[in-house]
Amino acid sequence: MIALLAADLGIHAYHIAFAIPPAQRIPWTVIVPLFTTFGFVHALYTLGWQRSMLFLAVTCATGFLFEFAGVRTGMIFGRYLYTDVLGPKILATVPFIIPPAYFMMLYPSYVITNLILDARPEARDQSFGRLFGATLMTGLVMTAWDLSNDPLMADQVKAWRWLDGGPYFGIPIQNFFGWIAVSITICFVYRLLEQRLPIVPCGRPFPWVMVLPIVGYGAFALSDILIGYPDATRVIPPFAMGIPVIAAVVRLFDRPAETPAGAGETASQQLYL
């Protein structure tokens, strides 16, 4: 897990230190599998294999369906087409790396949201109100990344083309509402289903373990701040991504060292206290 995150951070550091232009950077066909694997291993450690598999399956399946419908109809994100930059495509429409790319960023967003709300990496309060609020927050934390990433990917990386353009660096505003919609849908389905599965973590989630997805999410933000494109997008990550990162870190390290376990809590839940 540490090695995977270190490799991802090394890629960001290399791009930043040498100001590598987008066209010459290590391709997303390497970055996405690397960071997706890190997220999945971290999920195994903190949530257990059942919840991890469910999270990955729901994310990839739902992400693909939204993307496939989006490309074919233009009704979700606006009219766009994927180029060949991201590699082979499923049904000649959506690149294979796009569904896991949703998990790559949605899992850290999920952890950040849970830390902000409960100072722990998994959902604690299972009420419908909390589920809905956590789902909305996760979708917004996830979409915050796209505000600076999408202009780079479309204009410089040439990973996709917007057919009708739009007011936001050539991107339709509909795209961001689409991102919120798909993120909320994935997160709502997963959060609803996860309640049926036990939490069987592989180890005790010490603060240094829980902070790792935040570090990964923050690395994407830092990269967009320092070498994002167009230059005007570099002012977006400190606010859109930086605020939830700071809030999650404060909650994580400001929580009580020990909290008495309630009589009704399971042994697996007590691991997090």
User: Domain coordinates of the chain in residue numbers?
Assistant: 2-270
Specify the DSSP class assigned to residue 24. G
**Region label for 184, one of left (φ > 0), alpha (ψ between -120 and 50) or beta (otherwise):** alpha
Q: Which two tokens stand for residue 89?
A: 């495509």
Question: What is the pLDDT, as a whole number, of residue 10?
Answer: 96
Peptide bond into 201 cis (omega under 30): no
Q: Is the predicted pLDDT of residue 265 greater than 80, yes or no?
A: no
Specify the DSSP class assigned to residue 198. -
- Mean per-residue pLDDT of the chain: 91
Q: How far apart are CA 64 and CA 57, in angstroms?
A: 11
Q: Which two tokens stand for residue 175?
A: 């795209």
Question: What is the pLDDT, as a whole number, of residue 272?
Answer: 45
Q: Which two tokens stand for residue 101?
A: 């790319």
DSSP helix/strand/coil, 151: helix
Quick one: which of 48, 63, 42 has its CA closest to 107? 42
More confident position, 172 or 127:
172
For residue 227, the tally of other CB atoms under 10 A from its CB is: 20
Q: Strand pairing partners for 94? A: 90
CB 60 within 8 A of CB 100: yes
Over residues 61-88, the mean pLDDT reads 97
Q: Is the predicted pLDDT of residue 207 greater than 50, yes or no?
A: yes
The predicted model scores a pTM of: 0.91
Tell me the pLDDT tens digit for each residue of 135-188.
999 999 999 999 999 999 999 999 999 999 999 999 999 999 999 999 999 999
- Return the minimum-mean-pLDDT range out of 71-75, 230-234, 261-265: 261-265
CB 184 within 8 A of CB 136: yes
